[in-house]
A and B are shown apart, each in its own frame.
Chain A
Amino acid sequence: MSDNQLTELIEQYLNDDMSHDERIEFELLRKKDAAVDSRVTEHKQFIGLLKQYGERLELQKRLDAIHNEIDVHALKEEVTIHPVWVVRMWRHHHSKISVAASIAIFAILSTLFFTGKLNNHDSRFVELRDEVSKLKISNDQLKRTVNTSLISGAKTTKPKPANPGNFRGTGFALSSNGYIVTNYHVVSGADSVYVQNAAGESFHSKVIYTEPQNDIAILEINDPAFRNLGSVPYNFKRSSTDLGENVFTFGYPGGEVVFGPGALTSATGYQGDTTEYQVSIPVNPGNSGGPLLDDKGNVIGIINGKQTQVAGAAFAKKTTYLLKAIQNIPSDSLSKSLTLNTKNTLAGLSRQQQLKKLKNYVFMVKVYN
């Protein structure tokens, strides 16, 4: 039996196109011969698939015909969700917008940075510590090496630093045994602190207490060369002072002690700061930490800053806050007793006499870091 004949038989069998006898014969053959049986199954499946494929094509054609009747374009408009214009703009131009925004942010930040607005520092207020120029330091060091080489071997020089320090401010004695008050901003970040008296002697000092919020720092002279100062001539005024009071300060804006006369002009400091006085006094970098005294020689404040672009507006921390700070010093920080003088020996003296006495109690604070 040829292949074609077998296929024909299978087709006749599957299509029920056989006589009864033929059918029985074929079924016998199918049972006997496994190859024939598998041919039947295979043929059935294959033709089935072919027919289904045809049906699918037909259905697809019908669906396409229906689809062509639909106005898809109009429908598309109808069902598309149109986002608000902001969203559309963002979708279409987001790369450009991002670039523009980054450039803008960068420009703003760099402008702020270069104009100094980004610094927390308010440019209208300056703290009056004196930054000693690097040039001067190197000059001094040069001078020193020359000096030492000149006198080398001759005699031992005093091992005191002639270096003027990186920053300078003023401080004044609280008590005869070597407690000195200055501004916190003068000594902040200091590695070592020296105080220098009017005679030019430097003493090593230690910062024993600071109150950054009130810009107050208390130093203690711990130099073996230090001798007792003798009793402090001024006292500290607790009550607040009235406007118009003649006041003066004494400090080290430069290398020499400088007297600064003036008047109390306002009971509040920079931008209404009630912890400070405003005074009209010529002050310069280096005056920070200097005492502010009234006519009779009572300490009423500590000079700590001035306003730029405004004439005659310097500021001084009120003594009340100094006294509070002294009370707040932990007792174990104090190696000696800190007793404030209550007797004012300056009252009634002429200004010249007062300054002569004061001179020994006002120090240049030199900060190294």
Chain B
Amino acid sequence: MNKDLKASAPTDSEIVLGILNNSEIVLKRLYITYFPMILQLIINNNGDEDDAKDIYQEAIIVLYNKIKSGEFELSSKLKTYIYSVCRRLWLKRLSHMNRYGGDIRDFEEHLPVEEDEVEKHNDRDIQFDKMENALQLLGEPCKTIMEDFYINNRSMQEICERFGYTNADNAKTQKYKCLQRLKKIFFQQK
């Protein structure tokens, strides 16, 4: 691990600003700064490094989305916030796996995290899982057309060229067909 990165822990406001400005460097510094703390928490509470990665990334995503949506207020230290969210998430997962012995070994102070914050994040995850499934079931070339057009914001012209459609109208018709099927698959899922 890069020693300089470890040495210079970014300040909390730096991080918030950096994320709002889509700064890759700030995200990286944030990630690297607090990962050891969470690794320690998970490993010493019946988890392994993969669990730590999952939980930590989930927490970073929660934080990221909260900052992006403008709801985030720096009421506590960021470190404490991340730790608390991870702790909450890990407790939940432990009880899911029936590995929770009713006792967790803590390394940092933590706050009670609002239940609905984690809950909201979970709901969104379920939606995303459904979307991923639906896209898989959709198959090619529809999947790529959908991703290119709606996610990567490519123009119809580019898509036309990529898939060798003779005119943009054909491509457009194809796109709407694909969208319709995607919606159908998505909403049929339970």
Q: Which residues of B contact A47 (CB under 8 A)?
A: 150
Residues of A in contact with B, size category:
20 to 34
Tell me, yes or no, whether B100 is within 8 Å of chain A by CB. Answer: no
State in angstroms the CA–CA spacing of A38 and B161 once bound together: 34
The answer to whether A76 and B61 have CB atoms under 8 Å apart is no
The answer to whether A69 and B1 have CB atoms under 8 Å apart is yes
Tell me, yes or no, whether B113 is within 8 Å of chain A by CB. Answer: no
Mask of A246-283 contacts with B, CB within 8 angstroms, 1/0: 00000000000000000000000000000000000000
Q: Which residues of A contact B127 (CB under 8 A)?
A: 49, 53
The answer to whether B151 and A51 have CB atoms under 8 Å apart is yes
Of all chain B residues, which has the CB nearest A71?
A: B1
Tell me, yes or no, whether B79 is within 8 Å of chain A by CB. Answer: no
Tell me, yes or no, whether B32 is within 8 Å of chain A by CB. Answer: yes
The answer to whether B128 and A56 have CB atoms under 8 Å apart is yes
Residues of B in contact with A, size category:
35 or more
Tell me, yes or no, whether A311 is within 8 Å of chain B by CB. Answer: no
Known: A50-B131, A53-B132, A67-B57. A4 touches B176 (CB 8 A): yes
One of A57-65, A151-159, A322-330 contacting the partner: A57-65
Q: Which residues of B contact A75 (CB under 8 A)?
A: 1, 35-36, 39
Q: Which residues of A contact B124 (CB under 8 A)?
A: 52
Of all chain B residues, which has the CB nearest A56?
A: B128
State in angstroms the CA–CA spacing of A49 and B179 once bound together: 13
The answer to whether B32 and A79 have CB atoms under 8 Å apart is no
Q: Which residues of B contact A145 (CB under 8 A)?
A: none
Mask of B126-154 contacts with A, CB within 8 angstroms, 1/0: 01100110000000000000110011100
State in angstroms the CA–CA spacing of A7 and B60 once bound together: 36
What's the minimum C-beta distance from B103 to chain A, rounded to whole angstroms? 15
Tell me, yes or no, whether B173 is within 8 Å of chain A by CB. Answer: yes
Q: Which residues of B contact A76 (CB under 8 A)?
A: 39, 43, 49
Tell me, yes or no, whether B172 is within 8 Å of chain A by CB. Answer: yes
The answer to whether B146 and A67 have CB atoms under 8 Å apart is no
Tell me, yes or no, whether B24 is within 8 Å of chain A by CB. Answer: yes
Tell me, yes or no, whether B180 is within 8 Å of chain A by CB. Answer: yes
The answer to whether A79 and B39 have CB atoms under 8 Å apart is yes
State in angstroms the CA–CA spacing of A64 and B150 once bound together: 23
Within A277-326, the residues touching B (CB, 8 Å) are: none
What's the minimum C-beta distance from A72 to chain B, rounded to whole angstroms? 5
Tell me, yes or no, whether B93 is within 8 Å of chain A by CB. Answer: no
The answer to whether B43 and A60 have CB atoms under 8 Å apart is no
Q: Which residues of A contact B183 (CB under 8 A)?
A: 46
The answer to whether B43 and A50 have CB atoms under 8 Å apart is no
State in angstroms the CA–CA spacing of A119 and B52 once bound together: 59
State in angstroms the CA–CA spacing of A80 and B31 once bound together: 19
Tell me, yes or no, whether B94 is within 8 Å of chain A by CB. Answer: no
The answer to whether B151 and A80 have CB atoms under 8 Å apart is no
The answer to whether A78 and B36 have CB atoms under 8 Å apart is yes
State in angstroms the CA–CA spacing of A92 and B45 once bound together: 17
What number of residue pairs across chains A and B have CB atoms under 8 A from each other?
Answer: 87
Of all chain B residues, which has the CB nearest A83?
A: B44
Q: Which residues of B contact A8 (CB under 8 A)?
A: 172, 176
Tell me, yes or no, whether B77 is within 8 Å of chain A by CB. Answer: no
Main secondary structure of the interface of A (DSSP, over half): helix
Of all chain A residues, which has the CB nearest B186?
A: A46
Q: Which residues of B contact A4 (CB under 8 A)?
A: 172-173, 176-177
What's the minimum C-beta distance from A2 to chain B, rounded to whole angstroms? 9
Mask of A79-97 contacts with B, CB within 8 angstroms, 1/0: 1110000000000000000
What's the minimum C-beta distance from B6 to chain A, rounded to whole angstroms? 10
State in angstroms the CA–CA spacing of A53 and B176 once bound together: 19
State in angstroms the CA–CA spacing of A63 and B35 once bound together: 11
Tell me, yes or no, whether A242 is within 8 Å of chain B by CB. Answer: no
Mask of B148-177 contacts with A, CB within 8 angstroms, 1/0: 001110000000000000000000110011
Q: Which residues of A contact B132 (CB under 8 A)?
A: 53
Known: A60-B57, A72-B49, A79-B39. A53 touches B131 (CB 8 A): yes
Known: A8-B176, A78-B36, A80-B44. A63 touches B31 (CB 8 A): yes
5 tightest CB-CB pairs across the interface, nearest first? Answer: A54-B151, A79-B40, A4-B176, A53-B131, A66-B31
29 A–B contacts from the bound complex (CB under 8 Å): A3-B180, A4-B172, A4-B173, A46-B183, A47-B150, A49-B127, A50-B131, A50-B151, A51-B150, A52-B128, A54-B150, A54-B151, A54-B152, A56-B128, A63-B31, A63-B61, A66-B28, A66-B32, A69-B1, A69-B28, A69-B32, A70-B1, A71-B1, A73-B49, A75-B39, A78-B36, A79-B36, A79-B40, A79-B43
Residues of B with Cβ closer than 8 Å to A? 1-2, 24, 27-28, 31-32, 35-36, 39-40, 43-44, 49, 52-53, 57, 60-61, 64, 124, 127-128, 131-132, 146-147, 150-152, 172-173, 176-177, 179-180, 183, 186
13 additional A-B residue pairs with CB within 8 Å, beyond A4-B172, A53-B151, A67-B53: A4-B173, A8-B172, A46-B183, A50-B146, A54-B152, A59-B61, A62-B24, A63-B31, A64-B57, A67-B57, A75-B36, A79-B43, A80-B44
